[in-house]
Amino acid sequence: MQQDAMEEKYRQKFPRSRELYEAAKKMIPDGITHDIRYSEPFPVYITHGAGAHKWDVDGNEYIDYFGGHGALLLGHQHPQVVEAVADQARKGTHFGACHPLEVEWARLVISLVPGADLVRFTSSGTEATLLALRLARAFTGRERVVKLDAHFHGWHDTVVPGSVSARSPGVPRSTLECVKLCPPNDVQALEAALAEQPTAAIILEPSGASFGRVPVRPGFLAEVRELGTRFGAVLIFDEVITGFRLAPGGAQEYYGVNADLVTMGKIVSGGLPGGAVAGRGDIMGLLEMKRGLGKVSHPGTFNGNPLSAAAGVAALRIIATGEPIAAANAKTAALIKGFNRVIAAKGIDWCAYGHASIFQIAMNCDCAKKSDCVRTVCTYDWQKLRNHDRPKELKLRRNMLLNGVDFVGSGGWVSAVHSDLDIEETIAAFERSVEQMYTSEAN
Ligand SMILES: Cc1ncc(COP(=O)(O)O)c(C=O)c1O
């Protein structure tokens, strides 16, 4: 099908979304409120979700792998989460005070997350990494941070280098100078960086960059652990994605390596806005008033807010059983296998991979092993994996939307409530979408 024909089909199928977008872009830059939601020719506007599905303003239904940016391991509208939030909303949404649910929430996080002596709640994952880095700097009395290239930790200034928006204007030079970037999975480079200058923290995504887009090399986390200890740098695992998804205890449990601090978001607050930092008592203790001038500042109007606490407690109680994780993982493996079957049949240079309940699709992939390899020992060029072909991904996403599936374009998150039929239909939609891309003029 001609490229223009697909675009025309999109315009016809989503007229109400188009109207909303025309109105939105006059008020909101690009009409979007998160960079990753940018879509061409325009985004679809969603009205509601249930389980693994969601619906748009034009009445179209989608199998959803955006999953609330990875927050919805239990799917949309899990009855226990909905009930907990509704119940709390009836009692009040903000007391400007301590409340019992935050105590239960803390108890759950501490019981699940290895090495968590203390926890503090934030309003987002970005705030969690901001707080963790501040704590590390205060604890060590050092400013420099070592970050791994391509790893993503939110959008505050210190973590911009090496992230998807690595060249964002508006970040002070002095902040950029405090950050040392190291290539992922390269322990020699990391050791050299730590030897070069005293470092406050090493921060990384334990799954590998961008929730496993560049998979972590087996053994690497243990090597980093040793380097952190040897050089006195606080090791921060950013578990905003991996927390409560790879295992009830997150990546620390999954890989058997403990960090000093762990940052969380998304699932920790049951799909509502929220985040957390947990870890060693001697570091977390810097938040205590008794430290006087040595206290690390951490205000925040919505920290530990009752609605997020209610959703978080309900979700974590369910996730603690391990059952949702096992269900989501099994569906993900089937999805990846199906995608690779299509890729092989079409003879295109793509590869589907991933681990646990996260999948990735690499385009322009000239890896000889392709889908035959086990991606946890992926040795493919990390620069190629991280260099997204965004125009092609946007086309794939557009075609998938036309075929009744929503995902990021380069991958997605599977929930515990995706059914076998959802997986089957997604693979069929993928096959049609790829066909439509590769028979178009633009490709
Ligand atoms: C690993 C990681 N850290 C931090 C963040 C930022 O979290 P938030 O979007 O809640 O600010 C994200 C967001 O996707 C993430 O994937």
Which ligand 1 atom is at minimum distance from the Cα of 70?
Answer: 14
pLDDT tens digits along 16-41: 999 999 999 999 999 999 988 888 89
Q: By alpha-carbon position, which residue is closest to atom 10 of ligand 1?
A: 125
pLDDT value of residue 168: 84
Residue ranges for the chain with pLDDT beneath 70: 1-3, 165-166, 370-376, 440-443
pLDDT value of residue 310: 98
pLDDT value of residue 165: 64
Ligand 1 neighbourhood includes 124 CB (under 6 angstroms): yes
Of the residues 265, 296, 319, the one at which a domain ends: 319
In CATH, what number is assigned to the domain containing residue 174?
3.40.640.10
Full residue range of the structural domain in which residue 219 is found: 79-319
Place of tokens 């050092």: 142
Same domain, 228 and 364: no
Q: Are the C-beta atoms of residues 45 and 17 closer than 8 Å to each other?
A: yes
Same domain, 388 and 413: yes
HSE-up (13 A, CA, CB side) for residue 91: 14
User: What 8-state DSSP symbol labels residue 292?
Assistant: G
127 C-alpha vs ligand 1 centroid, how far in Å?
9
d(CA 195, CA 282): 24
d(CA 342, CA 348): 9
pLDDT value of residue 362: 93
pLDDT value of residue 163: 85
pLDDT value of residue 2: 53
Q: Are the C-beta atoms of residues 151 and 161 closer than 8 Å to each other?
A: no
Ligand 1 neighbourhood includes 265 CB (under 6 angstroms): yes
Same domain, 98 and 68: no
Element holding 166 (H helix, E strand): none
Q: In degrees rounded to 5, what are phi and psi of residue 130?
A: -60, -45
375 C-alpha vs ligand 1 centroid, how far in Å?
23
Which ligand 1 atom is at minimum distance from the Cα of 126?
Answer: 11
Residue among 130, 240, 308 to mutate when testing ligand 1 (max atoms within 8 A of CB):
240
193 C-alpha vs ligand 1 centroid, how far in Å?
25
d(CA 186, CA 1): 44
Say if residue 169 is preceded by a cis peptide, omega within 30 of 0.
Answer: no
In DSSP terms, which residues pair with 180 in a beta bridge?
146
Q: Single out the residue of 157, 237, 233, 235 nearest to residue 200, CA to CA.
A: 233
Ligand 1 neighbourhood includes 331 CB (under 6 angstroms): no
HSE-up (13 A, CA, CB side) for residue 301: 2
CA 75 to chain centre: 15
Same domain, 121 and 264: yes
Same domain, 298 and 225: yes
Same domain, 37 and 139: no
d(CA 151, CA 184): 8
- What separation in angstroms does the CA of 272 have from each of 14, 150, 319? 28, 26, 16
Q: Which amino acid is at 429?
A: A
Q: How long is the chain?
A: 443
Same domain, 29 and 127: no
Of the residues 296, 319, 342, the one at which a domain ends: 319
pLDDT value of residue 443: 42
Same domain, 154 and 136: yes
Same domain, 180 and 311: yes
242 C-alpha vs ligand 1 centroid, how far in Å?
10
- 219 Cβ contact list (under 8 Å, min separation 6): none
Residue 375 in domain: yes
Q: By alpha-carbon position, which residue is closest to atom 8 of ligand 1?
A: 125
d(CA 130, CA 154): 9
d(CA 261, CA 338): 37
pLDDT value of residue 441: 47
Residue 271 in domain: yes
Of the residues 287, 319, 351, the one at which a domain ends: 319
The tokens describing 343, both together, are 């890729």
pLDDT value of residue 376: 58
Number of domains forming the structure of the chain: 2
CA 288 to chain centre: 30
Q: Which amino acid is at 380?
A: Y
d(CA 145, CA 127): 16
pLDDT tens digits along 189-239: 999 999 999 999 999 999 999 888 999 999 999 999 999 999 999 999 999
In CATH, what number is assigned to the domain containing residue 381?
3.90.1150.10
Ligand 1 neighbourhood includes 64 CB (under 6 angstroms): no
Same domain, 55 and 161: no
Same domain, 184 and 261: yes
CA 131 to chain centre: 18
Element holding 148 (H helix, E strand): strand 145-148
d(CA 66, CA 75): 10
Residue 424 in domain: yes
Ligand 1 neighbourhood includes 239 CB (under 6 angstroms): no
Same domain, 336 and 267: no
Residue 443 in domain: no
At 127 the three-state DSSP class reads: helix
In DSSP terms, which residues pair with 351 in a beta bridge?
362
Residue 116 in domain: yes
Ligand 1 neighbourhood includes 126 CB (under 6 angstroms): yes
